Structure 1
């Protein structure tokens, strides 16, 4: 059972990445089943299940008269963590990053307002622990990005909304793109640390307006970092690699 699951997962990944990288053009048909079986070294059952998975993610459409055709990217499920991960591996695009910033600007301020109203002590302890990890990485070196993700996911969970908690799975993959860029900028993490502290302090104080203002400052700073990187035409980070490690101060 475990091996069959691995074959399935690997096949979905190979076909998903092939669609996202444009190996199969929009509107084009995927190769026939026997050809895919031979190319991927798997059975027809595995190929069929993989095709079903890709259809569920909005990458392709299947039907008796249609065959199996690639859909345009605006129909892909961008809240599916696999779709985001495959796009990030294929290469971050300016459109992808700007969509991310717009999404953060819409979702996070509202979520943080709710977190300031509803956060339990357990929620606050989790966000405090994430902040402590970020501070440790800035002062002594280490993995800042993972703790930054934990901080923001903690805020989404503290909003006490099941849909926002579910969204954090997809947002996590998206947010990492932003954090990788900010972390690569000189003193980026050091400068953003007090902004994170301001968000956390407002949540602890159960101050929704203060929390919203503080997270907007944080998001707008990240947007500026990303626009500067896009404007400079510097290479964008690849998310298939482990997070960037900070050096000790």
Structure 2
């Protein structure tokens, strides 16, 4: 079972989080300049070097732009790198919006079916073995309690790697935080993990059977089921997860779940 250790950030990491969250929350509106370095240094109790490094990181993530006579200004959110895990975490901390979750589900519907079709054609024995291990971890977490989300993430990232397309493999890394958002919301439903486990098995069995059409249908069923879970959680007004903390473990179920 995976063990989560607390992430201890340095001064740069903490400053990056403070400024990033402030931008995503709208404290510094798009098109306007963030406070000058001396003011940020005084407000945050940090050096100019730390501020400059944090600004460089935020520029790289698409949240800020700098230039002569321009200063350091906030970019509109369509310029932000939504594949960056930090950006996704900052959004989750201030609140996951319906628009954000809709975009996520649409992205999954575009990327995962195509990737799974390729996986059904190209997956090696090692690929399938790794996905089987992830599935077994999900099943054990449901039956015995424990970390379900980490295994769920490994299952889907394993499928993306199994397509053996270098760009999709890179995307599997970038999609990690986005996928975790969806999985945590689905898992927050009491029956969410147990009801989705057979859907995961159907995807894996189709890949093992080398049936791209069947694999595509199975992953679409799984994605649409996750969308329904998300809609129900949103309708219930239940508190949504914050990705800055480890996923909560499942409690053990009494009945055993068959394959």
Mark yes or no: TM-score above 0.5.
Answer: yes
Give the stretch that moved more between structures: 43-52 or 206-215: 43-52
Q: Which residues of structure 1 form unaligned runs of 5+? A: none
- For residues 236 and 197 of structure 1, what CA distance do their matches in structure 2 show? 27
Correspondent of 2:20 among 8, 16, 20: 16
Correspondent of 1:73 among 61, 67, 77: 77
Correspondent of 2:68 among 58, 64, 69: 64
Count of residues in Structure 1 that have an aligned counterpart in Structure 2: 245
Q: CA deviation at 1:205?
A: 1.5
Q: Which residues of structure 2 form unaligned runs of 5+? A: 1-8, 254-259
Structure 1 residue 26 corresponds to structure 2 residue 10: no
Normalised by the length of structure 1, the TM-score is: 0.93
User: What secondary structure does 2:27 align onto?
Assistant: coil
Q: Note the alpha carbon deviations across 1:112-139, whole angstroms, 9 max, x for none.
A: 1111111111111110000000111111
Name the structure with the higher helix share.
1
Q: What do you get for the CA RMSD once the two structures are aligned? A: 1.5
After TM superposition, list the pairs within 5 Å mapping 1:168-207 onto structure 2.
168-207=172-211
Q: Note the alpha carbon deviations across 1:199-245, whole angstroms, 9 max, x for none.
A: 11111122111111100000000011112222333322222232122
- For residues 241 and 85 of structure 2, what CA distance do their matches in structure 1 show? 18
Deviation >6 Å, runs of 4+:
none
Q: In 2, are the aligned partners of 1:145 and 1:183 still within 8 Å (CA)?
A: yes
User: What secondary structure does 2:73 align onto?
Assistant: strand
- For residues 35 and 113 of structure 1, what CA distance do their matches in structure 2 show? 53
- For residues 16 and 144 of structure 2, what CA distance do their matches in structure 1 show? 40
Residue in structure 1 matched with residue 158 of structure 2 by the alignment: 154
